[in-house]
Amino acid sequence: MKISCRKKIALNSKKDAILIPVYRNMRPLKPLTGKKIEDEINTVVASDYFSYEEKEFTGFFMEIGGKLRKVYLVTVPKDPADYRYYTELGASFAALLRKERISSFSILSFEDIYLEKKDTNFTKSFLDGFAFGLYSFDRFKSIQEKNYQFEEAEVITAFTRLKRFVDENAEDWNSVFESIYLTKDLINTPPADMTPQIFVDKAMELASDKLKITVIDDMAVLEKDFPLVYAVGKGSTNPPKFLKLEYKGAPDTEQHVALVGKGVTFDSGGTNLKPSGSIEDMKCDMSGGATVLGVTKIAHDTSMAINIITYIPLVENIIGSCAYKPGDILTSKQGKTIEILNTDAEGRLILADALYEATKTDPEVIVDVATLTGACVVALGSFCAGLFSNRKFLAKNISDVSGALGEDIWELPLLEAYQERVKSDVADLRNISKQKGEAGSTVAGLFLQEFVDNWPWIHLDIAGPAFLHEAHPVFGKHASGFGVRLIADFLKANYATK
């Protein structure tokens, strides 16, 4: 969508609709709206028809500029709320405009309503939520939704600083949501249409002079160089792949960050077959891979001054005559041996090889993302991801970004007391805990930690928020795109060179 910003009054808007935030006993709006719209607003809010119910939209028609336009009033707090409030408001407004088939609108900026000249992120948060709310996925419907294409959101402000902020960043904001939409599309696509090879094909479309993409798909090479990826994926007729993306946005330095994403394009559980009720949505088990692909695309498309190496091991975890089995002992790329006690704990295996590979290039930080454990959903619910890190400052830095964006994460412990639970009697490690039903997310994190060699590391378990059955106030249902903005903003704030 086009995002524009103009210093004018609402009466001069040429868009299909105008959104005006209001609150009780607010100051006169005439300097922002013009007298005609202000008079109509005063009439509406004084009537029995209007209530100051927060986040409630009240619409009415007015003749403006020779055309009948829809004016919406929305009640907001008298004092600025946190950014999350406006993100949720934006998502709700997108649903309303989609329902009413309105393709453009002007909004009086929240900064102008609050006379806030320093903080320019209230209207930006609203636009973020609006972009989330516009997303739809109807590729596989035989009768698709009647064509709806949103065109433009126009911000109206009297503040030069806000206008400059929007003008300088609007193109990047669109790039961010193109990447989020790609991530959501990949996750929502059925597994027959999102095999490891198809995922690779989608990624290859992003290649450029600044984004080098390498695919390892030779089974002999995978068996030798990424033996855990090979072991998990060899049972499927859709063979495993190892995808590596190298973005060079700061060519004057060798410093870089590493991203690792779990790419299980379908997870049946293998020989430890998942039951009905747990298997139906396992197309989403590649959400970590889709997320880090989206982050890498953002860095590339916005010319972020950072170097990123992204690793995505891609497999189907399927029952088959060649599939790995409980009782197998596998040797990782690092050399540690692993006793397999449950083939449905496969994500940590493919991540182990990828994490160790990531350590070999001396990254400043490694961030891995995975739909790893149901235990994390039990602990934190569907709207919150689990955070693990071997550095307190990393946990704080990414938590600060999370709070500002409203993408919720919660730090969980890597308890040394539980380290013995991943030790095996017959191998170096075991892929599930000795104590079943306890601290599953922590044990999975401790297993992964065995392969990062004390490198600065963040592990995000997104098993809850990656794919939603209960509608989230911003992300809606199904693939959420959770984590793409979070990681991109974290990297930009802490590792970009400018």
Longest dimension (CA), the chain: 81
Could you say which of 297, 333, 348, 430 is catalytic?
Answer: 348
Q: Torsion over CA of 49, 55, 60 and 65, rounded to 10 degrees?
A: 140
The Cα–Cα gap between 298 and 301 comes to: 5
Task: Report how far residue 166's alpha carbon sits from residue 297's, in angstroms, rounded to the nearest whole number.
Answer: 21
C-alpha–C-alpha distance, residues 191 and 391, integer Å: 36
Taking Cα atoms as reference points, which of 141, 180, 160 lies closest to residue 1? 180
Of residues 266, 253, 134, 85, the one with CA closest to residue 192? 266
Whether 492 is catalytic is no
Burial of 357-388, coded b for 16+ CB within 10 Å and e otherwise, reads: bbbeeebebbbbbbbbbebbbebbeebbbbbb
Backbone φ/ψ region at 111: left (φ over 0), alpha (ψ -120 to 50), beta? alpha
> Could you tell me which residues come within 8 angstroms of residue 478 by beta carbon, excluding any fewer than 6 positions away?
137, 184, 187, 188, 467, 468
CA distance 385 to 459: 10
Residue type, 169: N
Specify whether 430 is catalytic.
no
Q: Show the CA angle centred on residue 192, arms to residues 289 and 246, nearest 5°.
A: 25
424, burial (CB in 10 Å: exposed 0-12, middle 13-18, buried 19+): middle
- How many Å apart are CA 244 and CA 246, to the nearest integer? 7
When computed from its CA atoms, the radius of gyration of the chain, rounded to whole angstroms, is 25
3-state helix, strand, coil in the chain (%, to 5): 40, 20, 40
End-to-end CA distance of the chain: 27
Rounded to whole angstroms, the Cα distance separating 444 from 461 reads 10
Contact assessment for residue 442 and residue 412, using Cβ atoms and an 8 Å cutoff: yes
Q: Check 36, 274, 336, 391 and give the catalytic one.
A: 274
Question: What is the full DSSP assignment across 324-388?
Answer: --TT-EEE-TTS-EEE-S-TT--HHHHHHHHHHHHHTT--S-EEEEE---HHHHHHH-TT-EEEE
Active site residues: 274, 348
